Amino acid sequence: MLLVLDVGNTTVVAGVFDGERLVRQWRLTSDRRTSDEVGMVLLSVMHAAGIDPKSIGGAILGSVVPPLDSAIIEAMETYFHAPCMRVDTSLDLGIEVRYGAPKEIGADRLINAVGGKAKYGCPLIVVDFGTAITLDVVSPDGAYLGGTISPGIVTSMEALFGRTAKLPKIALEIPPVAIGRTTIEAIQSGILFGTAGLVDALVRRIWKELGCETGVVATGGHCSLVASASETIGHVDPVLTLDGMRMIYERNAGRSGR
């Protein structure tokens, strides 16, 4: 079985694949950890799920938090005796990268483009709702072009509540109307309808630049919620990033030096 690790600024999403089937996934915090802490946490959640750590034959890491990389790779070797592949542009991604500075691209953005192209075809826009909201564009001929980066929903909320003494913290849910009749409804409307509007505006601008409309797939922690208010998101795929890592691993496993 394959262990995949999507390391973001806020959370680590770990998953175990048996072939193409995602057996189990977990969402953990991205606290700075030692290799022993990483290993023990993963062993614990696997034990609770009834997964034998000895069944893990390989691992792949997609990370935007470099200080965690070495601890995770060491944990894979020490606790699972499994080599850990790290996603970057030196791998065979199966997608042409037409980005001005390829080494600056977050691994998650490349992974989403790979997974999105394979599952939904091209042209395509992948919208990932994480600490940041990213839109990544796959061209009509299947190349990664680049995209946009905006503050994420939780990031925006923390900025709002951190600088306003009287605003209450709220649950993230779509309000019944755009014109909020209470403070809570007003905040929900501004954040969720506002985020959906931001995504829709960026998608339409990208369509104009491409000269064609594309498919649009959403992934990440709040993808279903925002997609329900969006006019352009056509697909919701919470496990797209994990699938993309599995595809990259399968493409590169067994190659010299991997």
pLDDT in tens, 64-116: 999 899 999 999 999 999 899 999 999 999 999 999 888 899 999 999 999 99
Q: Is residue 120 part of a domain?
A: yes
pLDDT of residue 183: 87
Domain limit, last residue, from 52, 86, 120: 86
Q: Is residue 81 part of a domain?
A: yes
Name the domain count of the chain.
2
- Positions in the chain whose pLDDT score sits under 50: 256-258
Are 116 and 73 part of one and the same domain? no
pLDDT of residue 165: 59
pLDDT of residue 256: 47
Identified catalytic residue from 6, 108, 128, 237: 108
Q: Clarify whether 108 is annotated catalytic.
A: yes
Cβ–Cβ < 8 Å for 186, 168 = no
> Rounded CA gap, 33 and 14, in Å?
15
pLDDT of residue 257: 46
Are 127 and 184 part of one and the same domain? yes
Domain limit, last residue, from 59, 86, 113: 86
Query: How far is CA 90 from each of CA 20, 47, 94, 104, 250, rounded to the nearest angstrom?
Result: 24, 34, 11, 13, 15
> Rounded CA gap, 179 and 185, in Å?
8
Q: Is residue 258 part of a domain?
A: no
Are 110 and 208 part of one and the same domain? yes
pLDDT of residue 29: 85
170 is in which domain, residue-wise? 102-244
Q: Is residue 254 part of a domain?
A: no
Are 205 and 167 part of one and the same domain? yes
Q: Is residue 182 part of a domain?
A: yes
Residue 128 half-sphere exposure toward CB, CA atoms < 13 A: 27
- pTM equals 0.91
Are 53 and 161 part of one and the same domain? no
pLDDT of residue 258: 46
Query: How far is CA 155 from each of CA 9, 132, 150, 240, rounded to the nearest angstrom?
Result: 11, 7, 10, 22
Angle, nearest 10°, between helix axes 107-120 and 240-252?
90
Are 142 and 77 part of one and the same domain? no
Are 109 and 222 part of one and the same domain? yes
> Which CATH number characterizes residue 149's domain?
3.30.420.40
